[in-house]
């Protein structure tokens, strides 16, 4: 930059130890008043930017299923590459396949309910998602769709155990443990997790319990993924509660006692079996001297 573009001030700076005094008398507290509008202007601009970014992200998520480049196989490869940076490609591949089986459980059940569902779309470090116009005509159908994922996902994880025993593979055993944990976490009784779907047919008030548990878990173990789940779950919980208060839900949450018992048996049985599976596949890690 040429100095001719920015000429120096007419008066040279005062030497060290000498500072020019301000013109006029100095009175304590006689400075300029704070311009609060200018002070808050940057924060207002940042807030407006965040709102705009949020709207763009929402639009992008709705657009994802329509983008041909982001097919199921393509998004799977992207996720495998992302997870490979942390765990290596073998574990990353197995992990993504376990998620795929879990999500296909939801897809199969949605189609059994007569609802068109998209193939799973993988989002690195957030899992995967499927798109459907609804989760069923009532809370019982929603519970069936929600539990179908953990059921099929748990079977996939359990199928790894005999192979791991036959081959002595700690990798497969670790994948089985991860699969059990993944499906057990999804059974937390809070929307949008699968356990929250089951609670729609059991006891919707359990959503508040699940939300409080997840919030406590977030405080103890801060995690951006948990934060996303809390935000989505909080918005969904508020929407459902408002619909309930306004009487807009109608007969959606009316479930027969027999159906409620069956859902409870499947839910509690899954939780118990997944916890047992984790205990049987847990591998103690030892760290040598570095």
CA dist., res. 95 & res. 174, Å (int): 10
Q: Considering only CA atoms, which of 232, 127, 143 is closest in space to residue 179? A: 127
Q: For the chain, what percent of residues have pLDDT higher than 70?
A: 74
Out of 60-64, 68-72, 88-92, 232-236, which region has the weakest mean confidence (pLDDT)?
60-64
**pLDDT at residue 131, as a whole number:** 82
Distances (CA, A) of 74 to 77, 78, 89, 123, 188: 5, 6, 16, 11, 30
CA dist., res. 181 & res. 193, Å (int): 14
Exposure on the CB side of residue 81, measured as CA atoms within 13 A: 7
Higher pLDDT, 44 or 225: 225
Dihedral sign (CA 38, 42, 45, 47) = negative
Q: pLDDT band for 269, please (50, 70, 90 cuts).
A: very high
Q: pLDDT band for 105, please (50, 70, 90 cuts).
A: very high
Enumerate residues 6+ apart whose C-beta is below 8 A from 103: 120, 128, 129, 130, 149
Higher pLDDT, 176 or 39: 176
Q: What is the pLDDT of residues 147-203, one digit of tens each?
A: 999 999 999 999 999 999 999 999 999 999 999 999 999 999 988 899 999 999 988
Q: Considering only CA atoms, which of 179, 153, 201, 171 is closest in space to residue 283? A: 171
Q: What is the pLDDT of residues 227-258, one digit of tens each?
A: 888 888 888 888 888 887 777 777 888 889 99
119, 101 in Cβ contact below 8 A? no
Helices (H), the chain: 36-63, 72-87, 89-112, 139-167, 170-185, 194-201, 206-220, 224-245, 257-281
**pLDDT at residue 92, as a whole number:** 93
Q: What is the pLDDT of residues 12-31, one digit of tens each?
A: 343 434 444 444 444 444 44
Q: pLDDT band for 127, please (50, 70, 90 cuts).
A: confident
End-to-end CA distance of the chain: give it in Å, rounded. 51
> 119 φ, ψ to 5°?
-70, 160
């Amino acid at each position: 930059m040429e100095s001719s573009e920015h000429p120096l001030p007419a008066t040279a700076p005062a030497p060290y130890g000498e500072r020019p005094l301000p013109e006029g008398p100095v009175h304590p507290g006689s400075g300029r008043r704070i311009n609060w509008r200018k002070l808050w202007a940057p924060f207002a601009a940042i807030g407006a930017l965040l709102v705009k970014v949020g709207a763009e992200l929402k639009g992008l998520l709705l657009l994802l299923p329509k983008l041909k480049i982001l097919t199921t196989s393509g998004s799977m490869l992207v996720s495998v590459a992302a997870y490979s940076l942390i765990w290596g490609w073998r574990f990353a591949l197995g992990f993504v396949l376990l998620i795929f089986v879990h999500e296909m459980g939801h897809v199969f059940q949605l189609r059994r309910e007569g609802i068109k569902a998209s193939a799973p779309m993988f989002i690195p470090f957030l899992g995967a998602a499927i798109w459907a116009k609804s989760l069923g005509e009532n809370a019982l159908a929603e519970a069936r769709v929600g539990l179908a994922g953990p059921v099929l996902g748990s079977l996939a994880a359990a199928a790894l155990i005999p192979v791991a025993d036959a081959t002595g593979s700690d990798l497969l055993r670790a994948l089985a443990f991860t699969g059990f944990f993944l499906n057990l976490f999804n059974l937390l009784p809070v929307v949008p997790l699968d356990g929250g779907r089951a609670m729609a047919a059991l006891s919707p008030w359990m959503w508040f319990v699940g939300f409080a548990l997840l919030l406590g878990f977030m405080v103890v173990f801060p995690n951006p993924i948990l934060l996303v789940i809390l935000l989505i779950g909080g918005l969904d919980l508020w929407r459902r509660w408002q619909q309930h208060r306004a009487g807009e839900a109608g007969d959606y949450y009316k479930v027969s006692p027999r159906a409620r018992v069956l859902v409870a048996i499947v839910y509690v049985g899954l939780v118990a079996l997944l916890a047992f599976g984790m205990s049987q596949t847990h591998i103690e890690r030892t760290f040598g001297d570095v």
